[in-house]
C-alpha cells in the first residue's frame, strides 16, 4: 500500500507540473522492484519531479536543451538512463550534465549529443573538454550576485587607498637628533655599522677633548705624547696650521 500510495502522490505532482509547463501528456511509471519512468516522446522542455527511488529513466526524443544542476544527484538507485534525441544546447548550462555523464557512463544507454552551437553540433556531450568550459568559471558563481560582491569589494579597496593617501598627505614626520650627534650628518650616522656605532657611543665626546686642548699646558714637552695617545687610542689626528 505504501509504495502504491507514494506512486499516486508522485503522479499527482507530475500532473500539476505538466499543467504548469503546458505539457500534453504525463510520464508513465511502472512499479516493480523499483520505479521505471518512461517520459520519451512527450515534447518535454524540462523534466518533471522524479521519485528518489527511480531505477530507470527514459526521456529520449523530447525538447530538452539542458538539465538542471543537481537533478540526478538524488537518484542514487538509477541503473538505466536514456537521454538521446534531445536538442541539447552545449553552453555553460550543460556542464553539470556532461560531468554527470562522465561519472555514470555505464548506465547511459546512448550518448546524448549537442544540437547547438554549430561549433559542437552532433558532438557527444561527454567529448567536450574541460577547456571548453574554461570561460564558465566566473559565471558559475551565480552571475549577478558574484558581480555585486566583487564590485563591493573593489569599492572598499579604492576607498581604503584614498583614505591612506589622504592620511599620508596630512601627516608630518619629526626627526629628533640628540645633542651628542650635533655636527654629524644624518647620512653618515645611518651608514655606520653597529660595532662602529658602539665605538662612537663609548668614545669620549668631542667637547671633553676640546676642554683638554683649551687648558693651558704646564709643560709643552707633553704635547707630542698627548697627540700620540689621541692618534693611537682614539684615531684622532691633529694637524698643525
Residue 204 pLDDT more than 80? no
Q: What CATH number corresponds to the domain at position 26? A: 3.80.10.10
Q: Are residues 22 and 111 in the same domain?
A: yes
> What local confidence, expressed as pLDDT, does residue 96 receive?
95
Q: Are residues 153 and 109 in the same domain?
A: no
Where does residue 189 fall: left (phi above 0), alpha (psi -120 to 50 degrees), or beta otherwise? alpha
Q: Are residues 102 and 29 in the same domain?
A: yes
Residue 132 pLDDT more than 90? yes
Q: How many domains does the chain have?
A: 3
Q: Is residue 122 a contact partner of residue 114, using CB atoms and an 8 Å limit?
A: yes
Going 189 to 192 to 197 to 203, the CA torsion angle's sign is negative
> What local confidence, expressed as pLDDT, does residue 136 receive?
86
Number of other CB atoms surrounding residue 136 within 10 Å: 13
Q: How far apart are CA 22 and CA 61, in angstroms?
A: 17
pTM over 0.85: no
Q: Is position 177 within any domain?
A: no
Q: Is position 240 within any domain?
A: no
Number of other CB atoms surrounding residue 48 within 10 Å: 22
pLDDT tens profile 45-61: 998 888 889 999 999 99
Q: Are residues 120 and 200 in the same domain?
A: no
Question: What is the per-residue DSSP string for 40-82?
Answer: TTS--SSPPP--TTEEEEE--SS------TTTTTT-TT--EEE
Q: Are residues 100 and 207 in the same domain?
A: no
Q: Are residues 152 and 198 in the same domain?
A: no
pLDDT tens profile 85-120: 999 999 999 999 999 999 999 999 999 999 999 999
Q: Are residues 23 and 89 in the same domain?
A: yes
Averaged pLDDT for residues 62-84: 93
Residue 216 pLDDT more than 60? no
Q: Are residues 107 and 207 in the same domain?
A: no
Q: Are residues 116 and 163 in the same domain?
A: no
Q: Are residues 148 and 46 in the same domain?
A: no
Q: Is position 7 within any domain?
A: yes
Q: Is position 154 within any domain?
A: yes
Residue 8 pLDDT more than 60? no
Domain that holds residue 152: 142-167
Q: Is position 178 within any domain?
A: no
Q: Is residue 52 a contact partner of residue 77, using CB atoms and an 8 Å limit?
A: yes
Q: Is position 241 within any domain?
A: no
Q: Counting Cβ atoms within 10 Å, is residue 204 exposed (0-12), middle (13-18) or buried (19+)?
A: exposed
Instruction: List beta partners, residue 58.
Output: 38, 82
Q: How far apart are CA 10 and CA 48, in angstroms?
A: 10
Q: Is position 112 within any domain?
A: yes
In what helix (H) or strand (E) does residue 156 lie, and over which residues does it extend? helix 144-170
Averaged pLDDT for residues 145-150: 75
Q: Are residues 122 and 198 in the same domain?
A: no
Q: Looking at per-residue confidence, does 190 or 130 come out higher?
A: 130
Q: Are residues 45 and 122 in the same domain?
A: yes
Q: Is position 55 within any domain?
A: yes
Amino acid at each position: 500500500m505504501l509504495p502504491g500510495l507514494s506512486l499516486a502522490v508522485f503522479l499527482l505532482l507530475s500532473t500539476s507540473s505538466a499543467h504548469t509547463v503546458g505539457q500534453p501528456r504525463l510520464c508513465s511509471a511502472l512499479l516493480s522492484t523499483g520505479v521505471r519512468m518512461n517520459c520519451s516522446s512527450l515534447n518535454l522542455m524540462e523534466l518533471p519531479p522524479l521519485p528518489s527511488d527511480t531505477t530507470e529513466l527514459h526521456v529520449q526524443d523530447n525538447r530538452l536543451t539542458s538539465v538542471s544542476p543537481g537533478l540526478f544527484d538524488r537518484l542514487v538507485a538509477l541503473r538505466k538512463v536514456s537521454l538521446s534525441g534531445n536538442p541539447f544546447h552545449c553552453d555553460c548550462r550543460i556542464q553539470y550534465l556532461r560531468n554527470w555523464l562522465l561519472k555514470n557512463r555505464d548506465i547511459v544507454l546512448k550518448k546524448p549529443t549537442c544540437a547547438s552551437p554549430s561549433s559542437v553540433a552532433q558532438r557527444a556531450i561527454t567529448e567536450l573538454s574541460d577547456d571548453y568550459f574554461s570561460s564558465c568559471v566566473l559565471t558559475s558563481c551565480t552571475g549577478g550576485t558574484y558581480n555585486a560582491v566583487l564590485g563591493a569589494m573593489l569599492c572598499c579597496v579604492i576607498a581604503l587607498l584614498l583614505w591612506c593617501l589622504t592620511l599620508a598627505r596630512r601627516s608630518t614626520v619629526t626627526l629628533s637628533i640628540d645633542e651628542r650627534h650635533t655636527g654629524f650628518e644624518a647620512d653618515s650616522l645611518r651608514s655606520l655599522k653597529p660595532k662602529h656605532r658602539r665605538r662612537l657611543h663609548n668614545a669620549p665626546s668631542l667637547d671633553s677633548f676640546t676642554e683638554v686642548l683649551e687648558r693651558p699646558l704646564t709643560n709643552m714637552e707633553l704635547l707630542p705624547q698627548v697627540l700620540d695617545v689621541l692618534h693611537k687610542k682614539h684615531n684622532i689626528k691633529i694637524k698643525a696650521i
